[in-house]
Structure 1
């Protein structure tokens, strides 16, 4: 499970695509990236694209631990409103550039903090 989302990003991307049976366009949308970013090697390896994809992989890995697996983690990521963030989903937050806040939120939950 964790290996499907582990760096390096190009391998993580393949793992996410294979594990979740998503297209690269769906992964790009989930990470808040333009679709063309994953299609062009030079864009895929840009620091900003790498950071977004690593963040997505990290969030899904953390959520997989308590949602029951990668598919459930992605369902949570896309659809579960987070009350701490005005009922935005994790995907909404990542796409808005607030992915670090989602990672921090999951870290708090992991140590028994209030969601």
Structure 2
């Protein structure tokens, strides 16, 4: 019976600690740069034969707060054109983005 009480107290302690660990300010998708890029790319009409398409996108943010795509490294030319057309010179809303800094983000589109 002593062991059962100890286990119950330990489980209650772990559950309580887990609940407090998940509280706090969580970033929403619209608050961070990758979330905004996700929103720009999520509506697509890819009928890919493969299960997923991937690309590495390098871009900067100019002084006006617009994304400027530097390169899209992918094997699929259609994906490259899609990413460039959806992201190039689109405005992002962030205060902590450094203009002129090169950012790199992986893009994965699944069918």
TM range (shorter): under 0.3
**Bigger strand share:** 2
Q: Which has the higher helix share?
A: 1
TM-score, length of structure 2 as denominator length: 0.24
Give TM-score, length-normalised by structure 1: 0.23
Q: Higher Cα Rg: structure 1 or 2?
A: 2
